[in-house]
Structure 1
Amino acid sequence: MKKNFTSIAGMLLVGTMAISMTGCGSTKTESTTESAKPSTAATSSATASTALEPVKIQALIGPSSLSGIQSDELSKEIFEKKFGLKMDYIFAGDKFDERLSAIMASGDMPDLIEFKDKKQFESAVKAGVLMSLDDLVAQHGPNITNNLPSMLQYMRDNYSNGTGKLFGLASQIGAGQPTNLLHMALYSRWDLYKKIGSPELKTYDDLLQALKKMQAEYPATATGQKVYPLQLWSDWDSISMSLVDFTVPGYMGVNANAGTLQFTEYDPASKQIKSVFDADSKYFQGVDFYYKAKKMGLLDPDSISQKWPNAETKTKEGRTLTALWGWQSQIFNGNDFVKNNPQAGLVPLFPKDEAKFLVQAELPVGGGYVFGIGKNSKNADRIIKLLNYASTAQGSTELMNGVEGKAFMIKNGKAEYAPEYLDKVMKNDPSTAGYESFTMLSKWNIDPRTNEPITHEGWSQFVKQNLTAAEQEWTKANNVSNVYEYAKKNLKVVQDDGVTALAGAPTDDIKVIQQKLGELLKTASWKMVYAGSDNEYNTLKQDLMDKASKLGADKNFTWAKAEYTAAAQKASKYKQYSVR
């Protein structure tokens, strides 16, 4: 499974917007949401394979914590009974890259692989370890063919090693999250915000000043543990200080280090791309924000050394006053302190003059994840039938949320969990996690049967059930029904156009440059945050820019600009997909 945050506080507030979303158009050249045409293989191929004796296949899903054969209801009812597949998962955890490299070097590929990015997939195509899927899709994948034509053409045009053949199926196709939950707002304590007078927040400096006052009101937990308004963790870092990429630039309406265009940031509103090494980049503004927080005593000093599990524990224990995303705020809102003090729940805070609301792009050709089948697999036909089912609204809905008729049912045109199953979902019971990794369609696509998102996170039943007291009061205080409505009234809403997702892989010489730049940027960014003075901070920043220039940052940016231009041209070519 990919990371599957079952209860997402941000979604709870945007659910109304998600529910009101309609189809994405009706022309044959654009994305469409249709209910008139039945999904032929959603029923026929599944029924045909029901009588098959299950066969064991090996699957490497990236990234995933799954290991061995699973015995949950979806595995039994969908994978085994419908498609005759007993999945034997190869454990990878956070070492997926290393595990994949070792397997590719051996040449003995598993039956099914889900690559976590197209660069990995392209390497496998060039290595000749994957099976051509053209005939299999033609014979067993009518829904793939009819619903996802642009994805198929895109993969043939760009990831076939020049052969024009189909070697992989990209997933996550279609609508982006109704609000980009990874780049939305800083969430903080509603009770403390009211206690300091609910000050108007215009700038990020205003936000820091408000957090300082809130810290003064709640400096320690009931057990005497010191409370810091902000905390970070370093184990998510890759080519940069990743929590900077994931937060402040996104709060300002840009994608930092998007796709393969590393060390750049893209503004969909202006259609401009710039280097993160520019002195006025949003990335540097993010580093500056956390440096100011450290200087004011707002940043947990453990941030540079702690890992996510430590940060998660502190969130659960109420030892921080903020969460960086909606899903993280749900972790805080579920602790005993909030249960006993409902107004202490976290709600989003926006600096109105500087924040921009970034809405995720629609992706007709899919996101980064790609399915491939090992060239020696003996059961490729069954795998394609499964992915064909996953290319329908019905299939993706079941794989995401549980077996229809058991976990949920459709009543009066809306999907609803059975009461006992809903209770498990609300408690984040692992048995309800679902198999998002196998959904070919983005979970935010609108199911034409319900006019609500495929994922339960957008179902009316779930949204209504999961609103906290603080969230309810926040919407009332701001005279809005959800976060998106708030943004439209008070902020600039920026719709990502998905262009950067179509950028090609870097050349070998650019890869070398990017590797060196990554180590530099990651290390130097943390040093800047922990600088002892403004003078030291400015010296470190200038030193970083100078070293980046010597390592080839300008060459990387020249390559990125050319790739962006090419990607923008591709975007007009690949637009068609259907949800039905």
Structure 2
Amino acid sequence: MKLTRLAAGVAVGSLAVASLAGCSLITGEQPSDAQDSGSGSFPEAWEETITIDVFDGLANYMGVQSGWFAKIVKDKFNMELNIIAPNVAGGGDTLYNTRVSAGDLGDLIITDKGEKLDELIEGGLVLDAGGYYDRMEHAPRFDAAVDKLNEGKDGVYAFPTSVSSIPPTESSEGLEPTFGPYVRWDYYAELGYPEVGTLEDLLPILADMQAAHPTAENGQPVYGLSLFKDWDGNFMNNAKQPATFYGYDEMGFALAKADGSDYQSIIDDDSAYVRSLRFFHEANELGLVDPESTTQNYDTMFTKYQNGQVLFSFWPWLGQSAFNTPENTAEGRGFGMVNMQDQQIFSYGAEIYGGKQVLAIGADAEDPERIAAFIDWLYSTEGAYVNGSQTGAAAGPQGLTWEVGADGEPELTEFGMEALLTGEAAVPEEWGGGTYRDGVSALNVTVVLPADVDPDTGFPYSYTFWPSFQETQSNPFTEDWSAHMDGATSTMDFLETHDQILVAPGGGYTSPPDTSEIETLRNQIKAQIVQYSWQMVFARDDAEFDALLDDLQTTVEGLGYDKVLAFDMEKAEAQNDARVAVAEQFG
């Protein structure tokens, strides 16, 4: 039933996109750097082998793409991808700035839309690919997103990612939300599945779980919570996460509810952010917070989840990814979401206008026509199956990891089950060799949303939705979780059935950049917020917590906090206006 509803939603969304495409701004007739590139379709074969530089702000791999994805690209385009990854190279924006100063960022560029893209266009580092657009076969399915992205520009300078024909009022996520309160379900079951009314009700439950299991199998101590600092920015990142359980997401120093019904300053006494800090502080007073939280990074913390040393996870893609192995779930062990009765979990609606990242062709690309053909292919059915983020659920190459069964439904092959669930399966040489994980697309960007439906099969590209896959996932852990969650077939099924999810429509909003004054103020203020937040978590008692909060509020207000907050509030309200507009147009 869920798939039927999803497919119907896609049909409606597709009609909306098609109607918009009929009056598209992008016709291929506008002035273009690539206007003399010919007409018709792209070549079926490319004689000369080329290697292109891919500057990729999302990549976690540096070097030439290898394995099965590399072979597909080589066979189709006679092209190799040399990934240039600032995440791996280190130095933050240093690599980006150095290459921009040299006038050549890359042949293919994956970057953020908005200020960064505009700077590259103004600097002449990005090609106007309008002359190739009318030769594309697949990208024009998402004309609405391409139009919106290039609105106000004299050409087609960028192509959207995370596009979908699902209505923007539908969740973009799969069977699991992005956020949620996940606990070691097997330990929770040992306690008799106690009721969880609010966030704070988790504390005695975690305390009882920790008391019953103080040591993991590796001999190391177990903690209810383990935190990390890697992702701190405008504030302590971990303290924002419980706010999402109540429908909030951040916009600078503001928290905005998905439905536009509430906006908060993060440092207000009664904000969801300060509530999270109090939750962490109370947890620490109970001995539930890993004392290494202030010094460890994400990778170190992730290893602790793998070893069974942590009892609570903010995200399914943390606890479940690390611990819910086939071996553990077969023994009834794993992370599952609890029914926190007052939750309204924030969910990102499908982005009909695309996500934050974009694809662009470098102005000095060696063979822009071939790169344009490659970009177009990423929007194809084949591209949607084989390319995606490294945390996504791309099904991989048809014929290797999956096939269409006798009933016309997609199903994973025996190799696909091993490869997609473990990543370590050895890929046959004729498919590129190496391990499956090593061959995954290093682009690390989803171009077509995995929840979007393949028109050939009628099922989503993500194998996690396939009935044939779901039937294989029944195990003691999932059976017990379902039995105590009203028979829900998935976390998202439970949330939707119990009206515990709040979808923020995918409005395609792009935040304006900080002015130089706002940027200066923000940098001073956020350092104080992060520092005080960590101190508050590890405060000696409630009195010290309250004193630190007072000091934080006084300190940042003296640094111009109110001015930056007003700027962020305007953006949050503008974002909501975009969500309302897109919901009215496409919902």
Q: What TM-score does the superposition give when structure 1 sets the normalisation length? A: 0.85
Q: Does 1:218 align with 2:226?
A: no
Worse-superposed segment, 438-447 or 379-388: 438-447
Structure 1 residues 406 and 447, CA, compared in 2 at 3 Å: closer, same or farther? Answer: same
Matches within 5 A, 1:289-438: 289-334=279-324, 338=328, 342-353=331-342, 355-399=343-387, 400-411=394-405, 412-429=407-424, 430-431=437-438, 433-434=440-441, 437=444
Deviation at 1:363, TM superposition (A): 0.8
Bigger relative contact order, structure 1 or 2, given CA contacts below 8 A and separation 6+?
1
1:433-472 to 2 correspondences below 5 Å: 433-434=440-441, 437=444, 439-472=446-479
Q: 1:325 to 1:274 in 2, by over 3 A?
A: same
Q: Is the 8 A contact 2:504 2:579 kept in 1?
A: no
Question: Which one-letter code corresponds to 1:519 in the other structure?
Answer: A
**Corresponding residue of 1:200:** 195
Equivalent residue, structure 1, for 2:432: none
Query: Using the alignment, how far apart are the partners of 2:528 and 2:3 within structure 1?
Result: 40
* Separation in 2, partners of 1:165, 1:336: 50
Task: Find 2:100's aligned residue among 104, 110, 116.
Answer: 104
How many pairs does the alignment contain? 540
How far 1:563 sits from its partner (Å)?
3.1
Match of 2:144 in 1: 150
Instruction: Name the stretch that deviates more: 174-183 or 393-402.
Output: 174-183
Partner of 1:516: 524
Post-superposition offset of 1:228: 0.7
Rounded Cα–Cα distance in structure 2 between residues aligned with 1:572 and 1:186:
28
Across the aligned residues of Structure 1 and Structure 2, the Cα RMSD in angstroms comes to 3.0
d(CA) in 2 for partners of 1:249, 1:271: 15
Shift of 1:115: 0.8
Contact 1:183 1:325 (C-alpha < 8 Å) held by counterparts: yes
Is 1:137–2:133 an aligned residue pair?
Answer: yes
Question: For residue 501 of structure 1, what is the aligned residue in structure 2?
Answer: 509
Correspondence for 1:528: 536
- 1:153-201 deviation line (CA, Å, top 9, x unaligned): 222226x4xxx33321121112553359564322222222122222111
Q: 1:89 and 2:83 equivalent?
A: yes
Aligned residue for 1:477? 484
What is the rounded CA distance, in whole Å, between the counterparts of 1:279 and 1:477 in structure 2? Answer: 36
Give the equivalent residue in structure 1 for 2:25: none
Alpha-carbon offset, residue 443 of structure 1: 1.8
Measure, in 1, the Cα distance between the counterparts of 2:439 and 2:324.
Answer: 17
How far apart, in 2, do the equivalents of 1:419 and 1:148 lie?
Answer: 34
The yes-or-no answer on 1:26 pairing with 2:12 is yes
The separation in 1 between residues aligned to 2:268 and 2:545, in whole angstroms, is: 16
Please say if residues 178 and 359 of structure 1, whose CA atoms lie closer than 8 Å, have aligned partners that are also in contact.
yes
Q: In structure 2, how many angstroms separate the alpha carbons of the residues matched to 1:313 and 1:338?
A: 15
SS at match of 1:199: coil
Distance 1:385 1:124 in 2: 22
> Over residues 44-78 of structure 1, what are the superposed CA-to-partner deviations in whole Å (9 max), with x where a residue is unaligned?
9998333433211111112212222223122112x
Query: Secondary structure of the equivalent of 1:224?
Result: coil
Q: For 1:243, which of 238, 243, 253 is the aligned residue? A: 238
* CA displacement at 1:234 relative to structure 2: 1.2
Deviations 1:263-307 (A, max 9, x none): 111112344333223222212212221111111111111111111
Kept in 1: contact 2:284–2:538 (CA 8 A): yes
What letter corresponds to residue 348 of structure 1 in structure 2?
A: M
Cα pair 1:227 1:321 within 8 Å, conserved: yes
Say if 1:292 and 1:264 are closer, same or farther in 2 by CA, change over 3 A. Answer: same
Report if the CA contact (8 A) 2:67-2:440 is conserved: no
Does the Cα contact within 8 Å between 2:138 and 2:377 map onto a contact in 1? Answer: yes
Is the Cα contact below 8 Å between 2:70 and 2:439 reproduced in 1?
Answer: no
SS in 2 for 1:358: strand
What is residue 247 of structure 2 aligned with on the other side?
253
Superposition deviation, residue 136 in structure 1: 2.4
Shift of 1:104: 1.0
Instruction: Find the aligned partners of 2:277 and 2:585 in 1 and give their Cα distance.
Output: 39
Q: Which amino acid aligns with 2:258?
A: P
User: Where does structure 1 lack aligned partners over 5 or more consecutive residues?
Assistant: 1-15, 34-43
TM, length-normalised to structure 2 = 0.84
Going from structure 1 to structure 2, the CA distance change for 1:439 and 1:380 (only over 3 Å counts) comes to farther
- Alpha-carbon offset, residue 377 of structure 1: 0.9
1:413 to partner: Cα distance = 3.1
How far apart are 1:503 and its partner, in Å?
Answer: 3.2
The one-letter code of the counterpart of 1:128 is G
Q: Give the alignment of 1:524-563 within 5 angstroms.
A: 524-563=532-571
Structure 2 counterpart of 1:541, one-letter code: L
| Counterpart code for 2:6 | M
- Equivalent residues in 2 for 1:252-291, closer than 5 Å: 252-256=246-250, 261-291=251-281
Which residue identity does 1:379 align to in structure 2? Answer: D
Distance in 2 of aligned mates of 1:318 and 1:577: 47
- 1:47, 1:82 within 8 Å by CA — same for their partners in 2? no
Aligned residue identity for 2:304: K
2:518 maps to a residue whose letter is I
Amino acid at match of 2:354: G
* Amino acid across the alignment from 1:384: A
